[in-house]
Amino acid sequence: MATPQDSSEAPYLLPPDAKDWEGRGIPDFVYEQKELAPTGVQWPQLAPGTPPLSRFDSALCSAWRQRMELGLFRYHLGDLQTRTLPGVVGLVAQLNVERGVQRRCPQNIQSVRQAFDPEQFNFNKIRPGEVLFRLCRQPNRPQQEDVLVVINVSPLERGHVLLVPEPAQGLPQRLRPGALRAGLEAVLLSSHPGFRVGFNSLGGLASVNHLHLHGYYLAHRLPVEGAPSEPLDPGGRLHLLQGLPAPGFLFYIDGVGSDLEALVSRVCRATDYLTDHEIAHNLFVTRGAPPGKTFPSSELTGVRVILWARKSSFGIKEGEAFNVALCELAGHLPVKTPKHFSSLTEAAALALIRGCLLPPAQAEEVRTALVALAAQEEP
């Protein structure tokens, strides 16, 4: 399956000369709830091919591709060397040398709760042409936030964007309900099973302290889509993801409307607890199988949200094959050098990932706290 490429969504493109963007308003991508598709998106079972693109995929991919052609990224992203590491897990390694060398240096961050600093780089300082469009849900909700879809100038993969809610407010990198809702709805707007959304907290390798989520296409299955899990509360609202590459807390929906709103509240209560207790975390949103005894080949019947509590880590770690953040915990490993790419084994990758997790006693404290939060919900 290829990453979506084609589109005729001209309203989301820049003028032929990127300088002409100055002064143009940001285009709106207006959508309704009926476009959110919690089911019916699957990996192809036979010959590889691209699924029919949704309107959202077409708009995002055409605008993203044009920005690449205009040179608005730090490097040109071609087809990345990709291999599935031999072993039982199915880790997907990709060689992305340019991202390792040319990405922006992380900010000086010392706390998961660090305040926003307008003097540091933030998304109010990007070039106008880096903005693709604004997500606009119709009808508008009360206090609905504007969410800009912006290119990541150091992309992991084609279509790599940032979802930035209300950038003018100067919100720190702490997950908020409006941001998570936008990320979930972006996944539900896509007809590509490989479009994922994620969040890195401060201390969880977020490099910019300005609220944002990542969204990108990866045309490969990942272990977390169907890894087995066990329920942690009687209501089935919180599960423990048991499969590798790392245990995490699993939330799941197979509907929209009130189900989605309940999930947003549930997840944000958990991330608020982690932030308030200075515990770094990563979050990953993907099409996936329902909780239970499932496997990587299971059908994608809904959306999985996986939350990992982890050791705080500030700054990029030199000399390692990859840094552990949202995509690595999910089984997608952007590798920095050809030497690491050719020699990396499943065992070595898992050891690097496990080294970033909380020690057992602290992990158990977090588990107990999140189960207690789930128990407080209305039945």
Positions marked catalytic: 212
Q: What is the dihedral of CA 346, 352, 358, 364, to 10 degrees?
A: 10
Distance, in Å, from the CA atom of 21 to the CA atom of 15, rounded to the nearest integer, reads 6
Type of residue found at 276: D
**Residue 350 CB contacts under 8 Å (≥ 6 apart), including other chains:** 89, 91, 244, 245
Beta-strand pair 229-231/239-241: antiparallel
ω into residue 245 within 30 of 0, thus cis?
yes
